[in-house]
Structure 1
Amino acid sequence: LWGIPLLHTEGDERTDVILGKFLKARDFKVSQALAMLKNCVLWRKSFKADEILDEELGADFDGMAFMFGEDKEGHPVCYNVFGVLQDKDLYSKVFGDDAARFLRWRVQLQEKGVKMLKLEPSTPNALLQVIDLKNAPWPAKKVRSVLLKAISLLQDNYPELVIKNVFINVPWYYSAVFSLLSPFLTQHQKNKFVVTRLGKSTEALFKLISPEKVPIQYGGLGRAGDDEFSGADAPVTELPIKAGEKKTVELAVTTGGSSITWDLVVVGSEVSYGAEFQPDQEGGYTTIIEKTKKISAQLEEPIRNSFKASEPGKVVLSIDNSLSKKKKSVVYRHIVKAA
């Protein structure tokens, strides 16, 4: 499976990793695990799963899921986006005549994820799944049917290859779907579920994934194809802010002519934010970089700004939560580049 021999005679230490996944999926009942393994091998042959990475399945479903970064333990993260099904054409393809092609596309994505794993002992050898249900369609019968088929297919043929399923932006009406899924899941599988209601998604993701590796559309600092901070010593800091509190963050610029860039995102709800440069020289003029304005967790992307300092000093970021009765937090990082 996945280029890994299933017999110990080959001397590949990854064999134990693969066999262990099937055993764990069947509560270490050997006969059941062996039956599962046999069925998986037969399915891969009939489904032509080993050839699926070379298939061109079109770009119709690409907006439904994507791989981005890894969690704090090094597991690659797959984001599944159900809100795109608001598009009627896509909806009719996924739950209509193109349902079979959609399943092949989803298996192809799973194979891409597995290919990212080393599947060696003592290494992260599973994926983290994030399922975004914001604006997801009403779970009609045909929707449930396709979803159950996809879940069953992945569970039966990719055992223990998902470390956790994190459901975010969950509408109230999807509680019925979870009830429907429950009989098809073992308690072990249910323990992998994390369900987060609307408005709490960013906090839930930050518990599992470092903010710089969470995509900007989910309240993180991660931007696809962005290299502004790559390879730089730019640790991410989370600053809690109590209700009614105002705080400042000082970012030092020690050399004149240097450029400073910072990212900042608010977790929770609305705060007021501003930025200014204060020179070290006594009597120097303060420069307003950004006038104070209200920002919220619903921003399409985090704040990113840059400033070139003509002299040594500091950029001061002000975060004002004084009018709120709720605690917030801001997450930020910065980098200084010499002239």
Structure 2
Amino acid sequence: MENAHSPVSIPEASPKPYKKSFVATLMEATSFRSPFKEDTYFISHLKSSEKKALQELKDELMASYGPDGECTMWGVPLLAEDEKADVVLLKFLRARDFRVSDSFNMLQKCLAWRKEFKADGVGEEELGFKELDGVVAYMHGYDREGHPVCYNAYGVFKDKEMYERIFGDEEKLNKFLRWRIQVLERGIGLLHFKPGGVNSIVQVTDLKDMPKRELRLASNHLLSLFQDNYPEMVARKIFINVPWYFSALYSMFSPFLTQRTKSKFVISREGYAAETLYKFIRSEDVPVQYGGLSGPNDLQKPASEFTVKGGEKVNIQIQGIEGGATITWELVVGGWDLQYSAEFVPYAEGSYTIAVEKTRKVSASEVAIHNSFTSREAGKMVLSVENTTSRRKKAGAYRYIVRK
């Protein structure tokens, strides 16, 4: 039975003030909330000129395909007079600043590409990239606003053998591009296509160890495919573990990006993944490799988030544990390299504090801590995280269950 009477006290802290480091200042300058405001797709929210453009685009479609023509995208019949069709058409209009002729041209090219690429059936294909599933590109959870989240990490391709196996020739490259489109199509399958609903996804791209020169060809192909055929499908683009040479990488892509696309970017320097992702995604939905609690030992409970400043020790106290109860907890700090310990403190006078986990250094490569303890008497559990050897603030999260 879960104990619902176990309040968590405010963490005790023993701060050692430091001046902001250059890295922290730089991180603050490059990690920001995107100014992008997502479209609601309510017709009543449109300007009169935008309503007119929408009707003109519908008229263009009807003139080209006729009332009995087949014109479907992502399972939405575009000639139907309903809100789902309006959402899809507004995506193309928004991508071309409501210029009807340009929007119609883009829509026609996209329909032709989807037919040639057989995009409607790609989600069900077996393409044989098991080693890339859950590593290179994968859907994982939702952000705080309900958008499905797609994670991308290309660091595995720094291995030359892996790179040759996946990108060794044009046929292999095209097969990879098809697989990457498959991941995207599956993500789009989670969308509502409904005014006021969830109509786009969040992309998280991990730039750690990414071999930018080798992946230039594949990246350009993907960027072109996404921009031409998936308008307004990304609500936010979060770059994490951004290396010092990002400016050169960004300049390579920048000419191909619209100002609206750039407004969706969130940049986070290397080592600040957890702190950045927590702003947009609940810690229990962030993968463990990025400082979250979504992993193999998932307790399926909401988590509490905290920060550990440079030079600070934080004590997380879980109160009200009865005798004979078992407490199970998970704890993670993004980037770790901290001291961690856990102890049980009985309430009774004369009882001894029990060292459940002795103080140890947790390396940056370690993921979430998962442990349990059964108490013989009533007391509290104290989880200690010590960041006294670093000047850098780090983000963490924890959750627990107490059962009799």
Structure-1-length-normalised TM-score: 0.90
Q: What is the distance in 2 between the residues matched to 1:32 and 1:284?
A: 77
- For residue 38 of structure 2, what is the aligned residue in structure 1? none
- For residue 99 of structure 1, what is the aligned residue in structure 2? 173
Q: Offset at 1:260?
A: 0.7
- For residue 200 of structure 2, what is the aligned residue in structure 1? 126
- For residue 34 of structure 1, what is the aligned residue in structure 2? 104
Say which structure, 1 or 2, has more relative contact order (CA 8 Å, 6+ apart).
2
CA distance 1:243–1:217, change in 2 (3 Å): closer
Picking from 309, 312, 319, the partner of 1:245 is 312
Check the 8 A contact 2:272/2:334 in 1, yes or no.
no
Picking from 56, 69, 88, the partner of 2:126 is 56
Picking from 333, 338, 341, the partner of 1:274 is 341
Amino acid at match of 2:91: K
What is the number of residues matched between the two proteins?
A: 328
Residue 191 in structure 1 maps to residue 263 in structure 2:
yes
Structure-to-structure mapping, 1:71-110, within 5 angstroms: 71-97=143-169, 98-110=172-184
Q: What is the distance in 1 between the residues matched to 2:290 and 2:137?
A: 14
Picking from 374, 378, 382, the partner of 1:316 is 382
Amino acid at match of 2:243: P
Q: Offset at 1:325?
A: 4.0
Picking from 302, 307, 322, the partner of 2:368 is 302
- For residue 399 of structure 2, what is the aligned residue in structure 1? 333
What percent identity do the matched residue pairs reach?
Answer: 50
SS in 1 for 2:112: helix
Q: What is the distance in 2 between the residues matched to 1:201 and 1:244?
A: 20
Q: What is the distance in 2 between the residues matched to 1:183 and 1:73?
A: 30
Q: What do residues 19-62 of structure 1 show as CA deviations (whole Å, max 9, x unaligned)?
A: 11111111111111111111111111111111212221102543
Q: What do residues 117-138 of structure 1 show as CA deviations (whole Å, max 9, x unaligned)?
A: 1222211111111111211114
Q: Offset at 1:85?
A: 0.5
Q: What is the distance in 2 between the residues matched to 1:125 and 1:240?
A: 32
SS in 2 for 1:172: coil
Q: What do residues 159-214 of structure 1 show as CA deviations (whole Å, max 9, x unaligned)?
A: 11111111112233343231121111110011112222211222111111111111
Check the 8 A contact 1:257/1:310 in 2, yes or no.
yes
Check the 8 A contact 1:270/1:294 in 2, yes or no.
yes
Check the 8 A contact 2:155/2:209 in 1, yes or no.
yes
CA distance 1:96–1:75, change in 2 (3 Å): same
Picking from 218, 236, 242, the partner of 1:170 is 242
CA distance 1:325–1:148, change in 2 (3 Å): closer
